[in-house]
Amino acid sequence: MTSKEENAKSTNRVLRISQLDALELNKALEQLVWSQFTQCFHGFKPGLLARFEPEVKACLWLFLWRFTIYSKNATVGQSVLNIQYKNDFSPNLRYQPPSKNQKIWYAVCTIGGRWLEERCYDLLRNHHVASFGKVKQCVNFVVGLLKLGGLINFLIFLQRGKFATLTERLLGIHSVFCMPQNIREVGFEYMNRELLWHGFAEFLIFLLPLINVQKLKAKLSSWCIPLTGAPNSDNILATSGKECSLCGEWPTLPHTIGCEHIFCYFCAKSSFLFDMYFTCPKCGTEVHSLQPLKSGIEMSEVNAL
């Protein structure tokens, strides 16, 4: 029986991160409610709520407390994470919700404490009488003690995973799951596929810049289209000099690289500077020397046009 009870407690134990997430969700909800409430008075006189801001906030938080902790035994953040409060003083092993007194004292400690702190700060800030100086020191001392107690409680919470706030420890309420949590079976098939594809994509990104696509294209074209005739024939130069073998336009400052094809000077020069092993994209001939086209052939081509 004891082993079963220990296993049930271990499975129903709320993680520390879940309890902290619930507190953060509560703070986010309070900020959202307050921002929406202040927008309702956007068209009124500026500073209308400044004088009664602590009281208005207390009323809003009391309204939230009434429909969350008082009625459902859980805050909004806890309800989202399937968590609720349990009475830790109860001797029963079964779930026992917090008593009515615990809920009321929870509202007094949280809502009333924040209202008292804000209101005392406003009162002491507006009065500079010597008698208020001692009161201010006492209030600061009490607030400091509470902050220190909250810090010590948080360190104990990190070690034991119970009572995330000082109020919960003082009132004897802690977080439990609303329903028993089943042990989740995590499958890593999707993650393995993502990691494999990510590694393959990084390998391609690293490999593609190292491949000379132009040279590879020239090799494939030379294999698919066999060459016929002498490569240095002037007649072939004259008939094939109508367009650049790289850009396909009329060759500007026509030059040859040692084969029968014509190139623009800038096309051939830039390709050769980019790749010292540049070859002709049509026949695959390597660049021996960049030579201008003979003037006789060039003039005969112009006259033929």
Q: Where do the structural domains in the chain lie, given as residue ranges?
A: 8-177, 241-294
Average pLDDT score over residue span 291-298: 61
pLDDT at 9 over 60: no
Q: What are the structure tokens assigned to 218, written together?
A: 């020239």
Q: Taking a C-beta distance cutoff of 8 angstroms, is the pair 209, 266 a contact? A: no
In this predicted model, what pLDDT tens digit does every residue of 182-211 receive, in sequence order?
666 667 788 888 889 988 899 888 888 777
pLDDT at 29 over 80: yes
**Cα gap 183→215, rounded to integer Å:** 58
pLDDT for position 299: 42
Residues 6+ away with beta carbon under 8 Å from 39 = none
Q: What are the structure tokens assigned to 261, written together?
A: 């094809």
pLDDT for position 4: 47
Angle between helices 53-67 and 16-39 (to 10 degrees): 130
Strand residue runs (E) in 2-145: 83-87
Q: Which residue has the higher pLDDT, 194 or 130?
A: 194
Q: Which residue has the higher pLDDT, 264 or 297?
A: 264
Angle at 112 between CA 54 and CA 142, to 5 degrees: 100
Taking the model in full, what pTM does it have? 0.55
Q: How far is Cα of residue 219 from the mean position of the Cα atoms in its chain?
A: 46
In the CATH hierarchy, which top-level class contains the domain 241-294?
A: alpha beta
Average pLDDT score over residue span 79-105: 88
Environment class of 167 (CB within 10 Å of its CB; exposed 0-12, middle 13-18, buried 19+):
middle
User: For the chain, what percent of residues have pLDDT higher than 70?
Assistant: 75
In this predicted model, what pLDDT tens digit does every residue of 107-126 receive, in sequence order?
999 999 888 888 877 776 66
pLDDT for position 302: 41
How far CA 172 is from CA of 37, 44, 98, 200, in Å, comes to 33, 44, 9, 55
Q: What are the structure tokens assigned to 167, written together?
A: 């109020």
DSSP state of 1: -
